[in-house]
Structure formats: structure tokens, C-alpha cells
Homo-oligomer: A and B are copies of this chain.
Amino acid sequence: MKSVDSEKAFQDCYSDDVSHCYGCGRLNEAGLQLKSYWDGEETVAVFTPRSEHTAIPGYVYGGLIASLIDCHGTGTAAAVSARKEGFNPTGGESFPRFVTASLQVNYLKPTPIGVPLEIRAVVEEAKPRKVVSAITVLVNGILCAKGRVVAVKMPDDFTLPNR
């Protein structure tokens, strides 16, 4: 389903103080702990929804799909930025942290529950403080949802600039 060319997930390269996100923080024990990786020029994450993540019985609820797209988008933005800035994954440097400015999700097919979801991103735009990714969610190769994340570099005080 995926091949990865980096051993360490993007989210495991965040510094501890920004690793508490419910969607992807490795320090959030109650959360989803999404893990994203490079796969060539794309990025990929795989997540198997829990039974409680139901919408209509048998299918995944849309909020989870939105969450996965969101966190994969910000993770991809961080990885792109780190790659451009020459981040050294073995040198102990943390990734920069991006947050979401906008999120778009189109639900194309009901997404079956109980099987792994593959979340893939293609970077459409990469500026130092803004990264835009087009994201797809597939189940067994079938496109179930697609989305777009505009991620912006988190300011030190986490007061987002006006957009």
C-alpha cells in the first residue's frame, strides 16, 4: 500500500511542545497519532479508523476524514519546509510547525470502516510560510475523498496573521 523513503514520521520530528495535537501528536495518548512519510515526491499516511469512528453504520464519519486530511496536510507542509531548509533528520533538529489556514474536503464515496485508509498528498505550492497540498483518501485503491489544505507556518506566539 505504501513505500516510504524515510524511517521517521514527520510528526515524530516535531519538538515536544507542539506534539500534543489530537490528530497527530505523539504525546497525545487519547489521540489518533497519525504518521506521515515521504513516498518519492508524494507523502503518505495510513490510518485504520476505530469502530467508534462511525458515520452511518459501516462507514467512516466525515469529521475523521477531515481530521486526517488536515493533519497530513500540516505534516506535509512541515516536511516540505524541512527538506527545503536542509533539515538534518539525524541531527536532532525539529521540523518547523505549520497550522491550517483552510481545509476543503469533498466526500466522493461512502468510506468503509474497518479497513486502512491511505491518505496521500501532492504539494501544489511551497513558499517559506505557506504550503498548499492536494490530498486524496483511498480505500483499497478506490478514491473515497479528496481535499486541499492551505498550511501556514506557525508564528512563535501562535497568533495567526490576518488572511
Contacts and interface: CB of A to CB of B under 8 A. Distances in A.
Interface of A: 17-18, 20-23, 25, 28, 30-31, 52-59, 61-64, 66-68, 70-71, 97, 99-110, 154, 158-160, 163
A145 to B, nearest CB: 10
A31 B53 CA distance: 8
Given A21-B61, A66-B66, A154-B56, A105 B102 contact: yes
A160 B106 contact: no
Nearest to A50: B30
A20 B62 contact: no
Contacts of A21: 54-56, 61
